[in-house]
Structure 1
Amino acid sequence: METLRLVLLFLHLVGFASLFGGLFVQIKAEPRVVNNAVLHGALTALVTGLLLVGVLEGSDETVNNVKIGVKLAVALVVTVLAVANRKKTSLPGGLYLGMMLLTLLNVGLAVFWAPVHG
Protein backbone atom coordinates (compact mmCIF):
# COMPACT_ATOMS: atom_id res chain seq x y z
CA MET A 1 0.00 0.00 0.00
CA GLU A 2 2.91 2.34 0.73
CA THR A 3 4.30 1.88 -2.78
CA LEU A 4 0.93 2.76 -4.29
CA ARG A 5 0.73 5.87 -2.08
CA LEU A 6 4.19 6.97 -3.17
CA VAL A 7 3.42 6.41 -6.88
CA LEU A 8 0.20 8.41 -6.54
CA LEU A 9 2.01 11.17 -4.66
CA PHE A 10 4.64 11.30 -7.41
CA LEU A 11 1.95 11.57 -10.11
CA HIS A 12 0.09 14.17 -8.03
CA LEU A 13 3.22 16.33 -7.89
CA VAL A 14 3.80 15.86 -11.63
CA GLY A 15 0.21 17.03 -12.22
CA PHE A 16 0.81 20.12 -10.11
CA ALA A 17 4.09 20.82 -11.91
CA SER A 18 2.34 20.57 -15.26
CA LEU A 19 -0.52 22.82 -14.17
CA PHE A 20 1.69 25.46 -12.59
CA GLY A 21 4.32 25.27 -15.33
CA GLY A 22 1.69 25.61 -18.04
CA LEU A 23 0.42 28.77 -16.37
CA PHE A 24 3.82 30.14 -15.41
CA VAL A 25 5.29 30.03 -18.91
CA GLN A 26 2.49 32.35 -20.03
CA ILE A 27 3.16 35.17 -17.55
CA LYS A 28 4.26 37.56 -20.31
CA ALA A 29 2.51 35.82 -23.20
CA GLU A 30 -0.34 37.28 -25.18
CA PRO A 31 -2.79 35.74 -25.60
CA ARG A 32 -2.85 33.45 -22.57
CA VAL A 33 -4.67 30.17 -23.10
CA VAL A 34 -5.47 26.92 -21.35
CA ASN A 35 -2.75 24.82 -22.95
CA ASN A 36 -2.46 21.04 -22.70
CA ALA A 37 -0.08 21.29 -19.74
CA VAL A 38 -2.67 23.25 -17.75
CA LEU A 39 -5.60 21.03 -18.69
CA HIS A 40 -3.90 17.68 -18.18
CA GLY A 41 -2.05 18.90 -15.09
CA ALA A 42 -5.29 20.01 -13.42
CA LEU A 43 -7.00 16.71 -14.24
CA THR A 44 -4.01 14.64 -13.11
CA ALA A 45 -3.65 16.51 -9.83
CA LEU A 46 -7.39 16.22 -9.13
CA VAL A 47 -7.69 12.49 -9.89
CA THR A 48 -4.48 11.46 -8.13
CA GLY A 49 -5.43 13.59 -5.11
CA LEU A 50 -8.73 11.75 -4.83
CA LEU A 51 -6.96 8.40 -5.21
CA LEU A 52 -4.42 9.37 -2.55
CA VAL A 53 -7.19 10.06 -0.06
CA GLY A 54 -8.76 6.71 -0.92
CA VAL A 55 -5.47 4.91 -0.31
CA LEU A 56 -5.03 6.67 3.04
CA GLU A 57 -8.59 5.88 4.09
CA GLY A 58 -8.09 2.25 3.01
CA SER A 59 -4.98 1.89 5.15
CA ASP A 60 -6.80 3.08 8.29
CA GLU A 61 -4.88 6.37 8.46
CA THR A 62 -6.57 9.29 10.18
CA VAL A 63 -7.42 11.78 7.45
CA ASN A 64 -8.01 15.51 7.99
CA ASN A 65 -11.30 15.70 6.10
CA VAL A 66 -11.66 19.46 6.46
CA LYS A 67 -8.29 20.02 4.78
CA ILE A 68 -9.11 17.51 2.06
CA GLY A 69 -12.49 19.15 1.49
CA VAL A 70 -10.97 22.61 1.11
CA LYS A 71 -8.21 21.33 -1.19
CA LEU A 72 -10.79 19.41 -3.25
CA ALA A 73 -12.96 22.52 -3.61
CA VAL A 74 -10.00 24.60 -4.81
CA ALA A 75 -8.84 21.84 -7.19
CA LEU A 76 -12.35 21.48 -8.61
CA VAL A 77 -12.60 25.22 -9.27
CA VAL A 78 -9.24 25.23 -11.09
CA THR A 79 -10.14 22.12 -13.07
CA VAL A 80 -13.59 23.42 -14.04
CA LEU A 81 -12.05 26.73 -15.14
CA ALA A 82 -9.46 24.88 -17.21
CA VAL A 83 -12.02 22.59 -18.88
CA ALA A 84 -14.54 25.40 -19.47
CA ASN A 85 -11.95 27.67 -21.08
CA ARG A 86 -9.81 25.14 -22.95
CA LYS A 87 -11.13 26.09 -26.40
CA LYS A 88 -11.03 29.84 -25.93
CA THR A 89 -8.38 31.70 -27.88
CA SER A 90 -7.59 34.04 -24.98
CA LEU A 91 -7.96 34.02 -21.20
CA PRO A 92 -8.86 37.32 -19.55
CA GLY A 93 -6.10 38.55 -17.22
CA GLY A 94 -8.25 38.13 -14.12
CA LEU A 95 -9.14 34.54 -14.95
CA TYR A 96 -5.52 33.68 -15.64
CA LEU A 97 -4.38 35.32 -12.39
CA GLY A 98 -7.17 33.59 -10.48
CA MET A 99 -6.14 30.18 -11.78
CA MET A 100 -2.51 30.90 -10.89
CA LEU A 101 -3.37 32.07 -7.37
CA LEU A 102 -5.77 29.19 -6.71
CA THR A 103 -3.08 26.73 -7.81
CA LEU A 104 -0.59 28.33 -5.42
CA LEU A 105 -3.23 28.40 -2.67
CA ASN A 106 -3.72 24.65 -3.01
CA VAL A 107 0.00 24.03 -2.67
CA GLY A 108 0.13 26.35 0.33
CA LEU A 109 -2.71 24.43 1.96
CA ALA A 110 -0.86 21.17 1.40
CA VAL A 111 2.39 22.48 2.86
CA PHE A 112 1.30 24.72 5.72
CA TRP A 113 -1.91 23.14 6.99
CA ALA A 114 -1.51 20.24 9.42
CA PRO A 115 -0.70 16.91 7.75
CA VAL A 116 -3.45 15.05 5.94
CA HIS A 117 -2.74 11.93 7.93
CA GLY A 118 -0.89 11.12 11.09
Structure 2
Amino acid sequence: MEPLRLILLYAHLIGFALLLGGAVAQYLTGKLRINAAMLWGATIQVLTGIALSAPLRDGDEPPAAKLAVKALIGLAIFAMAFFSRKREEVNRGHFLALVGLTLVNAAVAVFWK
Protein backbone atom coordinates (compact mmCIF):
# COMPACT_ATOMS: atom_id res chain seq x y z
CA MET A 1 0.00 0.00 0.00
CA GLU A 2 2.95 2.33 0.50
CA PRO A 3 3.59 2.73 -3.27
CA LEU A 4 -0.06 3.73 -3.77
CA ARG A 5 0.16 6.26 -0.96
CA LEU A 6 3.32 7.75 -2.46
CA ILE A 7 1.74 8.02 -5.92
CA LEU A 8 -1.28 9.76 -4.42
CA LEU A 9 0.97 12.09 -2.45
CA TYR A 10 2.91 12.92 -5.62
CA ALA A 11 -0.33 13.70 -7.48
CA HIS A 12 -1.46 15.80 -4.50
CA LEU A 13 1.73 17.86 -4.74
CA ILE A 14 1.21 18.31 -8.48
CA GLY A 15 -2.28 19.64 -7.72
CA PHE A 16 -0.79 22.09 -5.23
CA ALA A 17 1.78 23.23 -7.80
CA LEU A 18 -0.93 23.74 -10.43
CA LEU A 19 -3.15 25.67 -8.05
CA LEU A 20 -0.48 27.96 -6.64
CA GLY A 21 1.53 28.27 -9.85
CA GLY A 22 -1.59 29.05 -11.86
CA ALA A 23 -2.58 31.70 -9.33
CA VAL A 24 0.86 33.34 -9.38
CA ALA A 25 0.96 33.30 -13.18
CA GLN A 26 -2.54 34.79 -13.36
CA TYR A 27 -1.69 37.44 -10.74
CA LEU A 28 1.32 38.54 -12.76
CA THR A 29 -0.86 39.18 -15.83
CA GLY A 30 -2.75 41.84 -13.90
CA LYS A 31 -6.15 40.32 -14.74
CA LEU A 32 -7.43 38.36 -11.75
CA ARG A 33 -9.41 35.39 -12.98
CA ILE A 34 -9.56 31.66 -12.34
CA ASN A 35 -7.51 29.92 -15.01
CA ALA A 36 -7.57 26.27 -16.05
CA ALA A 37 -4.46 25.39 -14.05
CA MET A 38 -6.06 26.68 -10.86
CA LEU A 39 -9.27 24.74 -11.46
CA TRP A 40 -7.42 21.52 -12.30
CA GLY A 41 -5.15 22.00 -9.30
CA ALA A 42 -8.10 22.44 -6.94
CA THR A 43 -9.83 19.38 -8.41
CA ILE A 44 -6.72 17.21 -8.11
CA GLN A 45 -6.15 18.41 -4.55
CA VAL A 46 -9.66 17.45 -3.43
CA LEU A 47 -9.69 14.06 -5.15
CA THR A 48 -6.23 12.99 -4.04
CA GLY A 49 -6.85 14.42 -0.57
CA ILE A 50 -9.91 12.23 -0.19
CA ALA A 51 -7.94 9.21 -1.39
CA LEU A 52 -5.05 10.00 0.95
CA SER A 53 -7.38 10.21 3.93
CA ALA A 54 -8.15 6.50 3.56
CA PRO A 55 -6.12 4.31 5.90
CA LEU A 56 -3.33 3.26 3.51
CA ARG A 57 -0.58 2.69 6.05
CA ASP A 58 -0.16 0.82 9.28
CA GLY A 59 -0.20 3.07 12.35
CA ASP A 60 0.86 6.72 12.24
CA GLU A 61 -2.56 7.86 11.05
CA PRO A 62 -3.13 11.63 10.94
CA PRO A 63 -5.55 13.03 13.53
CA ALA A 64 -9.18 13.13 12.46
CA ALA A 65 -9.34 16.86 13.29
CA LYS A 66 -6.47 17.56 10.89
CA LEU A 67 -8.22 15.65 8.11
CA ALA A 68 -11.45 17.52 8.76
CA VAL A 69 -9.73 20.93 8.69
CA LYS A 70 -7.86 20.08 5.49
CA ALA A 71 -11.04 18.76 3.86
CA LEU A 72 -12.99 21.87 4.80
CA ILE A 73 -10.30 24.21 3.46
CA GLY A 74 -9.83 22.09 0.33
CA LEU A 75 -13.54 22.10 -0.44
CA ALA A 76 -13.69 25.87 0.13
CA ILE A 77 -10.81 26.37 -2.32
CA PHE A 78 -12.49 24.12 -4.87
CA ALA A 79 -15.83 25.93 -4.51
CA MET A 80 -14.16 29.33 -4.83
CA ALA A 81 -12.40 28.22 -8.02
CA PHE A 82 -15.26 26.23 -9.55
CA PHE A 83 -18.04 28.78 -9.13
CA SER A 84 -15.86 31.68 -10.33
CA ARG A 85 -14.24 29.92 -13.28
CA LYS A 86 -16.40 31.55 -15.99
CA ARG A 87 -16.08 35.12 -14.77
CA GLU A 88 -13.93 37.43 -16.85
CA GLU A 89 -12.44 38.85 -13.69
CA VAL A 90 -12.86 38.05 -10.00
CA ASN A 91 -12.67 40.37 -7.03
CA ARG A 92 -9.14 40.94 -5.73
CA GLY A 93 -10.14 39.82 -2.22
CA HIS A 94 -11.67 36.60 -3.58
CA PHE A 95 -8.53 35.81 -5.57
CA LEU A 96 -6.16 36.56 -2.69
CA ALA A 97 -8.35 34.57 -0.27
CA LEU A 98 -8.09 31.58 -2.60
CA VAL A 99 -4.29 31.89 -2.64
CA GLY A 100 -4.20 32.42 1.12
CA LEU A 101 -6.34 29.36 1.81
CA THR A 102 -4.08 27.32 -0.45
CA LEU A 103 -1.06 28.37 1.60
CA VAL A 104 -2.89 27.76 4.89
CA ASN A 105 -3.87 24.27 3.74
CA ALA A 106 -0.23 23.49 2.94
CA ALA A 107 0.81 24.84 6.34
CA VAL A 108 -1.73 22.61 8.09
CA ALA A 109 -0.33 19.62 6.22
CA VAL A 110 3.27 20.40 7.15
CA PHE A 111 3.06 21.76 10.68
CA TRP A 112 0.15 19.86 12.26
CA LYS A 113 1.52 16.56 13.49
The alignment's TM-score, normalised by the length of structure 1, stands at 0.90
Deviation at residue 60 of structure 1 after TM alignment: 4.4
2:64 paired residue number: 65
1:25 paired residue number: 25
CA RMSD for the aligned pairs? 1.1
Structure 2 CA distance for aligned equivalents of residues 59 and 4 of structure 1: 10
SS of residue matched to 2:50? helix
The alignment's TM-score, normalised by the length of structure 2, stands at 0.94
1:95 paired residue number: 94
1:42 paired residue number: 42
Structure 2 CA distance for aligned equivalents of residues 22 and 28 of structure 1: 10
Residue identity over aligned pairs, in percent, reads 38
Q: How many residues align?
A: 112
Structure 1 stretch 23-32 or stretch 2-11: which is displaced more?
A: 23-32
Instruction: Check whether the contact 2:34–2:81 (CA below 8 A) recurs between aligned residues.
Output: yes
Instruction: Write the letter of the residue equivalent to 2:79.
Output: V
Gaps of 5+ in 1: none
Structure 1 CA distance for aligned equivalents of residues 80 and 51 of structure 2: 21
Gaps of 5+ in 2: none
Deviation at residue 26 of structure 1 after TM alignment: 2.2
